Structure 1
Amino acid sequence: MVTDDRLRAALTTGPFSLALRLALRASGLSLDRVQYRLAEREVPVSKTALSNWQSGRTQPERAESLRALAVLEEILGLPERALSALLGPPRPRGRWLTRAPNDMRADQAWARPDGLLRTLDSLGTTLAAVDRMSKVSVQVVCVVGADRVLHRVEHLVVLRAEQAGVDRYTVAYRSDLGEPEITAMVGCRQGRRRGDRETGFTTFELLLDRGLDAGELVTLAYTMAPGSAELYHSQRVGASTRVYGALVQFDSGALPVRVYRRFQSSVGETGCAEIDVRLGAAFTAQHVESDPAPGIYRIGWDWD
């Protein structure tokens, strides 16, 4: 019998990764121990696969994996099909098909991912739950004033619900120069907010008017006000994103000597080329990509 309230709720609503993670935690078994018990019953599963299942990076799809999942439910003391009932259809494969919302692990996407995980945990959620909504398109407008301060970052995003009932979108922002304010929202309202001063993370929820059907699209707009002398804006782009665009608008009284764009496949990649971006007549610079590769896109500027 399942007695943990969060686990009971996850087994009802999903997603699979969250339910598995909570079930493992409730069992008190390490991944090594679970792997050993599966091997004892002649349904071996690698520790990496178990880790990927609970993080949401992959899910059991092949026949041998589904057989192992049935045994895993017994090992964790769960009812029959408690976990397998949460599995969606097999994930399509290939660049031009719908893919997992985010191809990067937290440690690949962010410096100091421990801060992100702490803020999510304080919201009672996980990275797997964040991926219940994926970005189909993202357009960002950064406005830099005459004082060289990044006054606002306007976001316009098209999101797709990856499962039924999704009613919120979780946004993560990291800066070493202070927490941003949320100054305007369209199509949503601000929910809970958490910060981690040690790592500079701010995580907040944007609440929708209603839960979405699986596959349903929605457009949201929100504006963040960093109010700090940032020298760039970086955007994490996942495999589901079809259009990415970033535009920076400068005050005519304070024009940078250089604007550039840069792409990193992960935060640990070094030696990435910086490509100059020309400033337009309206004192704007922009970078737009169609079907962008998953990774980190930065548009930055130098004053000296």
Structure 2
Amino acid sequence: MPDRVDKRALSRALETGPFSAALRLAVQSSGLSLDRVQARLRERDVRLSKTALSNWQSGRTQPERASSRQALTALESVLGVPPGALARLVGPPRPRGRWVRRGPGDMRPDQAWARPDGLARALARMGATPETIRETARVAIHTFVDVGADRSLLSVRYHLVLRATVDGVDRYTAAYRSDRPSPTEIADTIGCRLGRRRDDDETGFLTYELLLDEPLAAGELTTIEYGMRFGGPHEERYLSQRVGCETRLVTVGARFAADLPTRVYHRRTASVADPGGEEQELRVGLSRSVRLVVADPPPGIYRLAWDWD
């Protein structure tokens, strides 16, 4: 009999994703083995291999073919989750072709973000896709957040070194997500200017494009800077930076205006479903700031976090 902890965890995963974690918890909560799941799908004239189910649970693959996505309807019924609960967590199909090949361990949208459906919607509203994001490789990423006297996030500053992966790149497309969204202004741009931006209020996604001063040929480098300012209380006690296999240097830092936190630490995870490795403590310097600097970082999510309690 599934326990209550599984039910609560499943409810959260169905709300926030990713698909792989939600499916894994749905299977555990159902009390069915993969053999029994496969047998019940066959009773509904749905053919789905155990290997496919296992790969979906681990995040190695996702339902991409039309037949696989259609099978999700039957799978939701077998596992006893609401209709569409799993299907809406599936990110867009993975890109194909030589120019979009990624390195080992690089993340798909459903591995990099909770609720990748919100990312896809927000990008679509400005005529873009996750493929658009890959037109610029981030060779170096420097991210710095200011924390106010009320412990709210005031602003985030980005300094990026970009490399074009195709000819004619004239913009940088990016995304930001918060569980506690507040009015956000993108300003103080250098080497670029703000183009279109779209929000997905349901999932807290903001997608935006920064128009480059000059278009780039494939392989050409440029740098841009810009800031994000938050117009209301925004007390998140961490800053996360997603890093792909093309990044050679990543910096994540924070500065505290008043009370210093009792603890600052960092942790890397391979995906949103990964519990991550051991937390490592960092010291706040005399300038009331702290930085995490990693050269040749493995792909993943790098989180800098702090506590006052």
Q: Quick one: structure 1 residues 295 and 271, their matched pair in 2 at CA, closer, same or farther if it must change by over 3 Å?
A: closer
Is residue 258 of structure 1 aligned with residue 263 of structure 2? yes
Q: What's the counterpart of residue 27 of structure 1?
A: none
- Give the secondary structure class of the aligned counterpart of 2:210: strand
Q: Is the 8 A contact 2:270 2:276 kept in 1?
A: no
Q: What's the counterpart of residue 237 of structure 1?
A: 243
Structure 1: tracts of 5 or more residues without a match: 1-29, 34-52, 60-86, 92-98
Q: Is the 8 A contact 1:101 1:240 kept in 2?
A: no
How far apart are the structure 2 equivalents of 1:222 and 1:277?
A: 26
Alignment counterpart, residue 196 of structure 2, candidates 166, 188, 192: 192
Amino acid paired to 2:129: T
Q: Is the 8 A contact 1:101 1:134 kept in 2?
A: no
TM-superposed CA distance for 1:274, in Å, is 1.6
Q: Quick one: structure 1 residues 152 and 101, their matched pair in 2 at CA, closer, same or farther if it must change by over 3 Å?
A: farther
Q: What's the counterpart of residue 109 of structure 1?
A: 112
Q: Is the 8 A contact 2:115 2:203 kept in 1?
A: yes
TM-superposed CA distance for 1:246, in Å, is 1.1
Q: Is the 8 A contact 2:261 2:306 kept in 1?
A: yes
TM-superposed CA distance for 1:235, in Å, is 0.4
- Give the secondary structure class of the aligned counterpart of 2:273: coil
Q: Quick one: structure 1 residues 229 and 237, their matched pair in 2 at CA, closer, same or farther if it must change by over 3 Å?
A: same
Alignment counterpart, residue 145 of structure 1, candidates 145, 148, 155: 148
Q: Is the 8 A contact 2:264 2:307 kept in 1?
A: yes
Q: Is the 8 A contact 1:260 1:277 kept in 2?
A: yes
Map residues 44-63 of structure 1 onto 2, 5 A cutoff: 55-56=94-95, 58-59=96-97
Q: Is the 8 A contact 1:244 1:290 kept in 2?
A: yes
Q: What's the counterpart of residue 128 of structure 1?
A: 131
Q: Is the 8 A contact 2:105 2:270 kept in 1?
A: no
Q: What's the counterpart of residue 227 of structure 2?
A: 223
- Give the secondary structure class of the aligned counterpart of 1:128: helix
Q: What's the counterpart of residue 182 of structure 1?
A: 186
Is residue 155 of structure 1 aligned with residue 170 of structure 2? no
Amino acid paired to 1:234: S
Is residue 201 of structure 1 aligned with residue 205 of structure 2? yes
How far apart are the structure 2 equivalents of 1:116 and 1:219?
A: 25
Alignment counterpart, residue 212 of structure 1, candidates 200, 216, 221: 216
How far apart are the structure 1 equivalents of 2:158 and 2:264?
A: 20
How far apart are the structure 2 equivalents of 1:128 and 1:55?
A: 9
Q: Quick one: structure 1 residues 271 and 211, their matched pair in 2 at CA, closer, same or farther if it must change by over 3 Å?
A: closer
What is the number of equivalent residue pairs in this alignment? 220
TM-superposed CA distance for 1:282, in Å, is 1.2
TM-score normalised to structure 2 length: 0.67
TM-superposed CA distance for 1:183, in Å, is 2.5
**Aligned-residue identity in percent:** 48
Q: What's the counterpart of residue 299 of structure 1?
A: 304
